[in-house]
Amino acid sequence: MNRILLIIAVVVLYFLHQDFWFWRTARPLIFGFIPIGLFYQGVYSIAAALLMWLLVKYAWPAHLEQEVEQSHAREDNNT
């Protein structure tokens, strides 16, 4: 996946945290008892987990682990 899209997704999710549209209202009550503002922020946490999954799947810095392995291999060769 295009990394620019992932960066945009991170920035958009960061600003979606500021949900001023539910600022002054408790209704609707989700499941009859959860105020909409709290429900939104709960769903936001799930969206954050989904975004993390996308980052792990498409932008994982695998080169760091390779560098560690190469560095250890060089040390083994030197000894």
Partner 1 sequence: MIPAIVVFLYLATVLYIGIFAFRKATEKAEDYFLASRSLGPFVFLFSLFGTNMTAFAILGSSGHAFQNGIVTYGLMASSSGLVIPLTIFFIGTRVWALGKKFGFMTPVQMFRDRWECGHIGTVIFVIQAVLLVPYIIIGIMGGGTTLYTISGGLVPYWFGGAIVALVVMGYVFFGGMRGTAWVNTFQTTLFLLFGAIAIIVIGAGMGGFRSATQSMLTSPLAPLLTRERISPLYFFSYTFIPLSAIAFPHILIFCLTAEKMNHFKKTVIFYPLCILAIWLPCVFLGVMANRVTDVPQIRAKQEARRVLATQGKNMTPEARDDLREQSSGDDVIMLLLQRYAPLWLAGLLGAGIMAAVMASDSQILALSTMFTEDVFAHYGGKRRFGEAVQVHTGRLFVVILTILAYAVALRAPETIFELAIQYAFSGYAALSPLLIAALFWKGSTKWGALAVTLWTAFAVVAVAVYQHAVPAPAPGPPIVSWSVGGVDVLTRTPGGTAVFGFMPVVPMVIISVLLMLVVSAITAKPNRAIIQKYFPSEPLAKAEVVSAKS
Q: Could you give phi then psi for residue 78, rounded to 5 degrees?
A: -65, -30
Residue 20 lies near partner 1 (rule: CB under 8 A): yes
Q: Where are the strands (E) in 1-79, listed by range?
A: 29-30, 34-35
β-strand partners of 34: 30
**Cα 27-21-23 angle, rounded to 5 deg:** 65
Which residue among 8, 19, 21, 58 contacts partner 1 (CB under 8 A)? 19
User: d(Cα 58, Cα 70) in Å, to the nearest integer?
Assistant: 23
Q: How far is the CB of 54 from partner 1 (least distance, A)?
A: 10
Which residue among 1, 11, 21, 25 contacts partner 1 (CB under 8 A)? 25
Q: Using CB under 8 A as the criterion, which residues of the chain lie in contact with partner 1 when the complex forms?
A: 10, 13-14, 17-20, 22-27, 29, 32-35, 37-38, 41-42, 44-46, 48-49, 51-53, 55-56, 60-61, 64-65, 67-68, 71-72
